Amino acid sequence: MQVADLYVRVSTDEQTKGYSPRSQEAVLRQYCQLRNIQVRQVFVEDYTAKHFNRPEWRKIMIILRKQRNKTDLLLFTKWDRFSRNTSDAYQMIDALKRLGVEPQAVEQPLDLTVPENKMMLAIYLTAPEIENDRRGLNTKAGIRQAKKEGRYMGKAPRGYINKAYEDGRRYITIHEPDASTMRWVFNEMGEGLYSAESIWRQINKKGFKIDKNTFLLNLRNPVYCGKIKVAAHNDEPAHLVQGLHEPLISESLFCKVQDIMDSRSKILKGMAIATPKDLPLRNFIRCNRCPRMLTGSASKGKTTYRVYYHCRSSCGVRYRAEDVNNAFTDELTTFIPRPGYPELFIASIAEAHNNQYRAIKEERDELITQITSANRKIDAARELMLLNELEPNEYRKIKEENSSITARLEMRLNEVNVQKSTQVNIKKLAEMAIMALCEVDVLYEIATTEAKRYLVGTLFPDKITYAEGACRTLLLNRAAELIYLENKALRAKKMGQKPLKKSLPHTGWLMGLEPTTLGTTNQYSNQLSYNHRVF
């Protein structure tokens, strides 16, 4: 009596709940009963037949290798239950024959010892493969068309959730509180102060569980700014289309984050968000003996712990955290404007804001010119291609490059147009900012550790050094540098700009008796002075 193993397969887990698996098993058992074949085991699979890397099939092969000559037949209803890949199917048939097992479809029986039956076998195997390939092409074409129409296909990224209309059409919508977290992530990345890994660790500590790779992929996903990416296909290049879903962030912020991640924009890599409260300057202080940054830690004394900033290398640099923190606070006091300066700053800012509108208009005109130039290059390349003077692949390359440039310029143009149309009470904002500036040392003392590090990173982009009881830096934030320039630096006026008489000092020698003579002192009569320490 022959012994057979029965193989039942459906494509998905949902189909196992239907009638097909039971129907296949019933047909196979009836076949064995009529031909007096003993059934040894029944294997039920819910996996694709595109390949043989299937869970149950791997189990079958292991059993057949361990129990050679105990099974004569491997039965299934049709050859498409066995495989939908012709080349893999022939290899598997040979492997089964070497194990002494004959594969056979009970509804499409073939005697493979007859050479002519190999042609029928090819038909039985090729037909379902062709059907499978055609179904796959139709599905891909439908997904691509849906993307072109602005629909997001697939599982929604974090911050969104999949939903469906009554007619079955699926869409994504904002899902809280994940949406607020992802919005915060993009805003933090756009600041350029913290690395992506630091932000990822912070949100995981807050309970937003996401693996690092998925997190980085989400930062690259244009879905968050309302765009859908359509991949390249045949002669059509990859491009973005406007999605039907609501965006979480603006396009300008998304592009800014991409520039930071592509290293086209500066980012203070490695800066941790969470820092012990006694070490707010950790990773901001540069070692004065080696290129490393100072870290910090606590050292246990006889009764208490002492906190130190120290270098990771063997150079031996080590400072008490209390001394460094106090020195930095002293440096902040040098930023407090002297009496009379707040009014001058407010007037200068107001005048600069008024002049800014002219700069915005000039930038807008320049952007329009660049966009027009890029479009003309595309048109010229198209004309050359139509005249057979340019190869199609060269035209596609030119079009792709200039389309990318145009997209970025148009995003910036939209941002400039928003700036141009936005009216703000700049004088009131300047007064609030100067008031905060007048109490910068107090605000620093009462701020949280995260806020302190944000202030330090914003104010000192080129790090700090500590030596001889004082903090120093070679480079200030550009805005701070403009505010705290020494008087001699304020004399330099840019050509072609309106003189800022309210913000620039006027110098002149003290006058003596008539006729005019030089005074006996070399100080300036009307020079604005500010006791600013260079650090």
Q: Find the CATH number of the domain harbouring 109.
A: 3.40.50.1390
Please tell me the distance from the alpha carbon of residue 129 to that of residue 135, in angstroms, as a whole number: 10
Please tell me the distance from the alpha carbon of residue 46 to that of residue 41, in angstroms, as a whole number: 17
Instruction: Pick out the chain residues at pLDDT < 70.
Output: 263-276, 300-302, 357, 419-424, 474-535
Residue-wise pLDDT tens digits, 455-468? 787 777 777 888 77
**13 shares its domain with 102:** yes
Inter-residue contact 444 to 455 (CB < 8 Å): yes
Domain boundary among 201, 226, 261: 261
Tokens of 523: 């100080």
Instruction: List, in order, residues 6 or more apart from 446 with CB less than 8 Å away.
Output: none
User: In which domain, by residue range, is 131 found?
Assistant: 3-135
Inter-residue contact 203 to 185 (CB < 8 Å): yes
Inter-residue contact 94 to 25 (CB < 8 Å): no
**447 shares its domain with 413:** no
Tokens of 206: 């807050």
Residue at 397 is within a domain: yes
Tokens 């007096």 belong to residue: 36
3-state DSSP assignment of residue 365:
helix
Q: Return the C-alpha torsion angle 131, 136, 137, 139, nearest 10.
A: 120
Residue at 12 is within a domain: yes
**319 shares its domain with 466:** yes
Residue at 329 is within a domain: yes
**354 shares its domain with 326:** no
C-alpha closest to that of 122 among 136, 108, 135: 108
**68 shares its domain with 9:** yes
In 10 A of CB 215, how many CB atoms? 20
- Please state the φ and ψ torsions of residue 103, each to the nearest 5 degrees: -80, 140
Inter-residue contact 146 to 243 (CB < 8 Å): no
**460 shares its domain with 521:** no
Residue at 7 is within a domain: yes
Please tell me the distance from the alpha carbon of residue 108 to that of residue 106, in angstroms, as a whole number: 6
Please tell me the distance from the alpha carbon of residue 331 to that of residue 467, in angstroms, as a whole number: 13
In 10 A of CB 513, how many CB atoms? 7
Letter for the amino acid at 203? Answer: I
pLDDT at 432: 78
Tokens of 491: 């004399």
C-alpha closest to that of 99 among 57, 71, 58: 71
Residue at 145 is within a domain: no
Q: Indicate the number of domains in the chain.
A: 5
Domain boundary among 83, 105, 135: 135
CATH number, domain with residue 205: 3.90.1750.20
**461 shares its domain with 522:** no
C-alpha closest to that of 319 among 419, 466, 143: 466
Tokens 């001058």 belong to residue: 344
Please tell me the distance from the alpha carbon of residue 364 to that of residue 362, in angstroms, as a whole number: 5
Tell me the DSSP string of 139-173.
HHHHHHHHHHTT---SSPPTTEEEEE-TTS-EEEE
Please tell me the distance from the alpha carbon of residue 428 to that of residue 369, in angstroms, as a whole number: 35
**22 shares its domain with 115:** yes
Residue at 275 is within a domain: no
**32 shares its domain with 130:** yes
Inter-residue contact 459 to 471 (CB < 8 Å): no
Element (H, E) at 472: strand 470-472
pLDDT at 263: 66
Please tell me the distance from the alpha carbon of residue 229 to that of residue 237, in angstroms, as a whole number: 11
Beta strands in 187-236 (DSSP E): 227-230
**299 shares its domain with 445:** yes
Residue-wise pLDDT tens digits, 88-97? 888 999 999 9
Please tell me the distance from the alpha carbon of residue 283 to that of residue 275, in angstroms, as a whole number: 10
Measured in whole angstroms, the distance separating CA 496 from the mean position of its chain's CA atoms is 41
Measured in whole angstroms, the distance separating CA 359 from the mean position of its chain's CA atoms is 31
**417 shares its domain with 311:** no
CA atoms within 13 A on the CB side of 201: 11
Residue at 481 is within a domain: no
**Across the strands, what pairs with 509?**
524
Please tell me the distance from the alpha carbon of residue 503 to that of residue 490, in angstroms, as a whole number: 9
